[in-house]
A and B are shown apart, each in its own frame.
Chain A
């Protein structure tokens, strides 16, 4: 066959693939560029300590939503990590039919669209409490985070060799202590990076907060009252007609992106170090 033609085809494919890949990452460069360019001009020390500005004048700060996001993440971690980790331990330890069923259910939960989770939290928490609240937002985010933690814990603990457990048993240590003092600590790095992955996933979630946490222009730490969050603030201010609010939204985007990127980087760097290796 015609060698020149074959070589041409080969080179052409490589060029095409490289070109398309570069086009595909162009949006990221554009997004980063826009967020940094528009965001950095409003981000200073005051931006972290002040309340949002009134429409039309000044840039103010995002203290309320920073605090709100921290509180919501805290609530979500508190609600989902204990159950998630122990359910993950159960899955790693059992091969029963029930475990198989649980695994399927966890997958279903992970595939739940985030807006549907918002509705659930609305029905379960907002309605009985009679109003939007930080607690309901925390519940919504916890439901999102739970399957991530279960799966990550299970996968981490499955890598731990059985010989480690045998060694523990042969010393006369019972099952409970073997799990709590040998298995879980050995996999602690992996479990913690699972929690960080979960946090980075929920930190930017807006949809489940729309009708749960709702947003609040003032500082609040009361779990029974509405609370603001970074992604909610970005959404509300981005859709507003005021120029200065857009600026605040860019600044908040900058802070949020940096936060999520730092978490991802932590998982990448520390995750390698913490990985269970034998």
Chain B
């Protein structure tokens, strides 16, 4: 039985290695950002200026950019993703149409983000530019608004697949009971499906929000990469992730590099909180249903 003990210890070791890895990531982020934390402290979060030349670093423009793009993307995507979920979970539960729609939705989820960015650069940007000219705004084409649209396209399949899972968990006898009382599908959706799956759909939306929050490439390509505070939805901007993508290789000063890692720490912490809440709701929900 010596071999068994050894094997069990080996399995444990593999698990331990992953925990050490996570611990190492944590330690590296902390020690990497230490210089910036020491120089700027928590005031970093509210600093409005990011200027590597004069060595002034503040997070606020990018915090704003990240929240603006991902909240806007979330808002745009909600009606579309719920529609897809309803169509797949209520109207066309199986059959040809269901297959087509769920396959395309799955494919959409698999397209690499750099290709979304590339497509947006050559298709979406000219359209937004025309739109901006019509409304007499500086016609950059790129900016926060364009990034939000790309992000919303990217998270729709993700939200809708979670929402569809949740909708399919609604007990069939409730739905059948409503139909037998003469309810239309409209009534069933409004009175049974939505109330029953509300919190699950919310969790799905939150998890997609977390995705948009940390997304780098597509945003970097179309947001315009400006380090000043965004003034409106059509301004150029930067998110935390796109800032790091843009400046990390060019950062020669220690304080610049350390500040970028400090930004990464915030990005990590915030997306951790968002994911944690989303997963917590889903876990709670699946326990409720299995009861």
CA distance A250 to B119 in the complex (A): 9
The size of the chain A interface, using a CB distance under 8 A, is 82
B116: chain A residues within 8 A (beta carbon): 31
CA distance A210 to B79 in the complex (A): 34
A87: chain B residues within 8 A (beta carbon): 11, 14-15, 17-18
A99 to chain B, nearest CB (A): 7
B241: chain A residues within 8 A (beta carbon): 113, 115, 207
The size of the chain B interface, using a CB distance under 8 A, is 78
Q: Looking at the complex, which one of B15, B101, B121, B275 makes contact with A238 (CB distance below 8 Å)?
A: B121
Asked if A25 contacts B12 (CB within 8 A), the reply is: no
Asked if B186 contacts A112 (CB within 8 A), the reply is: no
Given contacts A113-B214, A113-B267, contact A205 B112 (CB under 8 A): yes
B197: chain A residues within 8 A (beta carbon): none
B118: chain A residues within 8 A (beta carbon): 234-235, 238, 249-250, 253
A255 to chain B, nearest CB (A): 11
When each residue 143-159 of chain B gets 1 if its CB lies under 8 Å from chain A and 0 otherwise, what string results?
A: 00000000001001000
Within 8 A of B (CB), among A1-45: 6-7, 9-10, 12-14, 16-21, 23-25, 27-31, 34-35
Most buried by A among B184, B248, B260: B184
CA distance A12 to B190 in the complex (A): 13
- Name the residue on B nearest A18 (C-beta): B87
CA distance A111 to B272 in the complex (A): 7
B262 to chain A, nearest CB (A): 11
Q: Looking at the complex, which one of B1, B24, B108 makes contact with A174 (CB distance below 8 Å)?
A: B1
Q: Does B114 contact A (CB under 8 A)?
A: yes
Within 8 A of B (CB), among A233-253: 234-235, 238-239, 246, 249-250, 253
A155 to chain B, nearest CB (A): 14
Within 8 A of A (CB), among B65-87: 79-81, 83-84, 86-87
Asked if A34 contacts B87 (CB within 8 A), the reply is: no
Asked if A204 contacts B113 (CB within 8 A), the reply is: yes
CA distance A156 to B220 in the complex (A): 37
Given contacts A18-B87, A204-B112, contact A120 B245 (CB under 8 A): no
CA distance A87 to B13 in the complex (A): 8
- Name the residue on B nearest A180 (C-beta): B7
A181 to chain B, nearest CB (A): 12
Q: Does B52 contact A (CB under 8 A)?
A: no
Asked if B108 contacts A28 (CB within 8 A), the reply is: yes
CA distance A101 to B12 in the complex (A): 13
Asked if B268 contacts A14 (CB within 8 A), the reply is: no
Given contacts A105-B22, A111-B272, A204-B115, contact A23 B80 (CB under 8 A): yes
Q: Looking at the complex, which one of B105, B107, B215, B221 makes contact with A261 (CB distance below 8 Å)?
A: B107
Within 8 A of A (CB), among B1-56: 1, 3-4, 6-8, 10-12, 14-15, 17-19, 21-22, 24-25, 28-29, 32
B247 to chain A, nearest CB (A): 10
- Name the residue on A nearest B246 (C-beta): A210
- Name the residue on A nearest B103 (C-beta): A268
A261: chain B residues within 8 A (beta carbon): 107, 110
A264: chain B residues within 8 A (beta carbon): 106-107, 110
B4 to chain A, nearest CB (A): 4
Q: Looking at the complex, which one of B8, B156, B214 makes contact with A115 (CB distance below 8 Å)?
A: B214
Q: Does A176 contact B (CB under 8 A)?
A: yes
* Contacts A106-B18, A113-B264, A206-B216 supplied; 8 other A-B pairs, CB < 8 Å: A21-B84, A24-B83, A25-B101, A113-B267, A115-B244, A207-B217, A260-B111, A261-B107
Which B residues are closer than 8 A to A by beta carbons? 1, 3-4, 6-8, 10-12, 14-15, 17-19, 21-22, 24-25, 28-29, 32, 79-81, 83-84, 86-87, 91, 101, 104-108, 110-119, 121-123, 153, 156, 160, 184-187, 189, 210, 213-217, 221, 241, 244-245, 248-249, 260-261, 264, 267-268, 271-272, 275-276, 279
Cβ contacts A to B, 16 pairs, < 8 Å = A9-B186, A14-B185, A35-B115, A87-B14, A93-B11, A98-B15, A107-B279, A112-B268, A116-B267, A118-B248, A120-B28, A235-B117, A235-B118, A238-B117, A256-B115, A257-B112
